[in-house]
A and B are shown apart, each in its own frame.
Chain A
Amino acid sequence: MGDNPMTSTPTRFTGQPTRMILLLLAGWLIVAHAYADQGPLNQVRSTVEAVLDNLKNKDLPKATLTDRIRSLIKERFDYHAMAQRALAVHWKKATPKIRDRFTELFSKTLESTYLGRIEAYTDERVEYVKERIKGNKSIVDTKIVTANTDIPVTYRLHRSGDKWLVYDVKIEDVSLIRNYRSTYGEIVNNEGFDGLLAKMEAKLESQANESGSN
């Protein structure tokens, strides 16, 4: 701290506290920039690898494993967008109450099916092939490498702030949402929304019973 007011200005801005603030500011800018640069491929990778890490951990009790995986996919999948697209034309005709109930059941369906499928996981690994970005949408190509064969899995994502969220998954060229859409569409045509919702509830129950008995 200088006594002379004429020479005190330079030292004020090079003192220890100022340096700390500048460093923190620079650090924050780097982190924020890096996160913003985390493209869709890297975001998909971090979710998938986290799921695989949990699956590889043999010591985890099943309930913990299930909870962790559930929250991991909830972070990455846009359930609402998927539900809307799965119902397609019928979404417009549905009342808000039906929409909410459908979204709730559909989210549970996605989780339950996903958890059921990955129970078959042994030692497969995933390759992250490439990403394509166009505006607020992107496509990430991955590959599940198994002993006999490779299974191409493609994610379609849209941007929500800094996060990329999945709104469709294609496995071996078959779009999940499109597949659900064709099934749900036909059921709504033949049995109405009530019929669809009832069937979804029944299926969730049977899935729960089957995994509960394992």
Chain B
Amino acid sequence: MPCYADAGAGAEMEKAATNSTGDFEDFDDDFDDEENVVEAYDPLEIFNRGMFWVNDKLYFYLLKPAARVFRIIPQPVRVSIANFFNNIETPIRLVNAAAQLKWSDAGHELERFAINTTVGIGGLFDPAKSRLRISPKIEDSGQTMGHYGVGAGPYLVIPIIGPSTLRDGIGRVADYYLHPVTYIVDDFSDIVIIEAIDVTNTLSLDKDTYEAIKKDALDPYLFIRDAYLQRRRAQVAR
């Protein structure tokens, strides 16, 4: 958990003029120390770049075309499918929030599941968020490990899924055993098909994020690596 002590020496706080709530650690500006360039730990960069290249081809030749075909289904339906999958995955968030002793988050996930499964018709809709403003708290096994001090380990690019780390990769395996589908569906190949539908559906709702990255970034591999690691660090801290 982030500590609220002011790390700067003699930093003044303007109490009168601000509407601040006291969480000033965001102000600890890592730009002040220009020497501090946190290099990503990527000892497997050569392998990762290779896998990145493979994923790039998979994206353009397999995943994106499938997503495009999927767009035949009207968008509201696809949003409902996404909601359905998110709802089913509640145990992953619930168990990991509880494991990190984040009781109010765990409680919210329980509330969301209850409301969305009933009022939200089997999870197709998300009235918990739209009406009651209870947003999901994204937690997973990788974050739980990080919460308890497990370092991320080397950066890894996984087939299809893309950016990850050693810790987060192991977390995914653990989450597989928290996913209800693993227990409901018998045949592993059926599980794969269900996952494929989830991935294709999510991609069909995406607005060309990867294309945009390729267009603007000087080095898409580096861009995605850094963005993933930054985001992950923030998620673990929350």
A residues with a Cβ closer than 8 A to B are 85, 88-89, 91-92, 112-113, 116-117, 120, 130-135, 137, 139, 147-148, 156, 167-168, 172-175, 177-179, 181-187, 199-200, 203, 206-207, 210
Cβ–Cβ contact A182 & B222, under 8 A: yes
Asked whether A89 lies within 8 Å of B37 as measured between CB atoms, the reply is: yes
CA A132 – CA B18 in complex, angstroms? 6
Please state if A117 and B21 are interface contacts (CB–CB under 8 Å): no
CA distance A85 to B14 in the complex (A): 26
Given the complex of chains A and B, what is the CA–CA distance between A178 and B229 in angstroms?
Answer: 11
Partner of A131, one of B13, B19, B230: B19
Q: Is B24 an interface residue (CB 8 A)?
A: yes
Contact between chains at A116 and B40 (CB < 8 Å): no
The 6 closest A-B pairs by CB, nearest first: A173-B234, A182-B226, A183-B222, A133-B18, A132-B20, A174-B227
Question: Within the assembled complex, what's the spacing in Å between the Cα atoms of A168 and B14?
Answer: 22
* CB-contact partner of B218 in A133, A177, A203, under 8 A: A203
30 contacting pairs across A/B (C-beta < 8 A): A88-B31, A88-B34, A89-B34, A89-B37, A117-B212, A130-B19, A131-B19, A132-B20, A132-B21, A133-B18, A133-B20, A134-B12, A134-B14, A134-B27, A135-B12, A135-B14, A167-B31, A168-B31, A172-B231, A173-B235, A174-B226, A174-B227, A174-B231, A178-B30, A182-B37, A182-B40, A182-B225, A183-B217, A200-B218, A203-B216
Closest beta carbon of chain B to A113's beta carbon, Å: 5
Given contacts A132-B21, A177-B31, whether A210 and B215 have CB atoms under 8 Å apart is yes
> Are B218 and A187 in contact (CB-based, < 8 A)?
yes
Residues of B within 8 A of A116 (CB): 212, 215-216
B215 to A148, Cβ gap below 8 A? no
Instruction: Kindly list chain B residues whose C-beta atoms are within 8 Å of the C-beta of A132.
Output: 18-21, 23-24, 26-27
CB of B59 to closest CB in A, whole Å = 19
CA distance A147 to B208 in the complex (A): 16
Closest B residue to A196 by beta carbon equals B218
Nearest-CB distance from A37 to chain B (Å)?
A: 9
- Could you tell me if A186 and B219 are in contact, using CB atoms closer than 8 angstroms? yes
Pairwise interchain contact B222-A137, C-beta atoms closer than 8 A: no
The main secondary structure of chain A at its interface with chain B is: helix
Chain B interface size, as a band, is 35 or more
Contact B34 A135 (CB under 8 A): no
Residue of A nearest to B225 (CB): A182
Known: A120-B208, A183-B222. 16 other contacts (CB 8 A): A89-B35, A112-B216, A132-B26, A134-B14, A134-B18, A134-B20, A135-B11, A139-B26, A173-B231, A173-B235, A174-B226, A175-B230, A179-B227, A183-B218, A183-B219, A203-B216
**With A89-B35, A173-B235, A174-B230: A187-B26 Cβ-Cβ less than 8 Å:** no
Chain B stretch 38-95: residues in CB contact (< 8 A) with chain A: 39-40, 79, 82
Residue pair B230, A179 in contact (C-beta under 8 Å): yes
A142 to B198, CA, bound (A): 30
Q: Do A179 and B226 form a contact, CB below 8 Å, given A116-B216, A134-B20, A186-B219?
A: yes
Assembly CA distance A168 to B30 (angstroms): 12
Give the complex CA separation of A185 and B222 in angstroms: 10
* Chain A residues positioned under 8 Å from B166 (CB to CB): none
Tell me the complex Cα distance, A137–B205, Å.
Answer: 37
- Residues of B197-224 contacting chain A, CB below 8 A: 205, 207-208, 212, 215-219, 222-223
